[in-house]
Chain A
Amino acid sequence: MKLRALMLCFALTVTGAVLANEAAPLAADVVVEKRLIEISEELRCLVCQNETIAASQADLAQDLRREIRTLIGEGKSDKEILDFMVVRYGDFVLYRPPVKPTTWLLWGGPFLLLAAGVFALIRFLRRRAKEAAAPALSEEERRRAAALLDSSNS
């Protein structure tokens, strides 16, 4: 029984390997497809907002990929194609939004938070250093401590 199952497995693997064929390229022009992927990786799919147009299978993303392919065919530059998208969908379509007054906080925010964190850390370390350098026990206190330890030992 076990042997038969093994043989079946073997037969299936072999036929699978024989039937398998190298996938045909989806598009004839590899250069255009490469540029298409590069450009569409910079663009956000507006239907599923955390996916790029390159990755998304949403209808709109497929349409936009087709559109980009057409624009590449018309000889448009990468920048012209990105501008084409921004004119229609706004800066939100770009995964790397442009630096301008409305996006200063977006770009600078993480650095502001980092600076605040470093500032707090330095203050904390300074205070701790001061506490650690507090005066050691006086002679009198040392004797008392020794006496207490002795009494608890006996």
Chain B
Amino acid sequence: MRRFLIPLAVFIVLVIFLAIGLTLNPRDLPSPLKDKPAPAFTLPQLAAADQSFSPADMKGKVWLLNVWASWCVSCRQEHPVLMDLAKTGIVPIVGLDYKDQIADAKNWLRKYGDPYTVSAVDADGRVGIDYGVYGVPETYVIDKAGMIRLKHTGPITPDSLKTQILPLVAELSK
């Protein structure tokens, strides 16, 4: 009897590990930037190239930095969620237009709506590297002191907005 019990126990443990593994998302990596100051940058604004945006402009506010691009398919999926969020006015959303053509980006916002208080243009993706961007869309929750408190990789869903982002924003806004 024991002869069979041991392999069975090993098998069950293996199945449990594999089952846990299946529920994990290999793209969801812990960001080393969490609880670190948001990297500084100065980039031209999408709407007005002669004006610039810098994270320092948002000091004292809780805000979202959303990395997007007109070529990014999942950004389309995320877009309605951002539009709804922008309408509530709970938290300002700043766009980082990542490795994009300015004309395409402007067209995209005209077509699907513009949820961003301002969009900065990261044409060569250099700022994206500082933020550890590897899969657009990505969203950072940044607190009043300019610290990154959450990095969300992939499109924001109504569910992740409700369970992760909004509670954190509410807590940080206190």
Contacts and interface: CB of A to CB of B under 8 A. Distances in A.
Interface of A: 46-47, 49, 59-60, 63-64, 67, 86-92
Contacts of B134: 46-47, 60, 89
Interface stretch (B30-38, B44-52, B79-87): B30-38
A92 B128 CA distance: 17
Q: Is the interface of A mostly helix, strand, loop or mixed?
A: helix
Contacts of B29: 46, 89-90, 92
Interface in B115-142: 124-126, 128-132, 134-135
Nearest to B128: A63
A86 B32 contact: yes
A60 B27 CA distance: 15
A88 B26 contact: no
Contacts of A47: 134-135
A87 B32 contact: yes
A90 B129 contact: no
B99 interface: yes
A90 B30 contact: yes
A88 B131 contact: yes
Interface in B152-166: none
Contacts of B124: 63
A64 B129 contact: yes
B32 A89 contact: yes
Given A46-B134, A89-B29, A90-B32, 18 more contacts: A46-B29, A46-B135, A47-B135, A49-B26, A49-B27, A59-B99, A59-B125, A63-B129, A64-B129, A67-B126, A86-B32, A88-B32, A88-B129, A88-B130, A88-B132, A89-B132, A89-B134, A91-B32
8 contacts: A47-B135, A59-B99, A59-B125, A63-B124, A67-B129, A88-B132, A89-B132, A92-B29
Contacts of B27: 49
Nearest to A59: B99
Count chain A CB atoms within 10 A of each CB in B124, B130, B132, B135 and give the residue with the most: B132
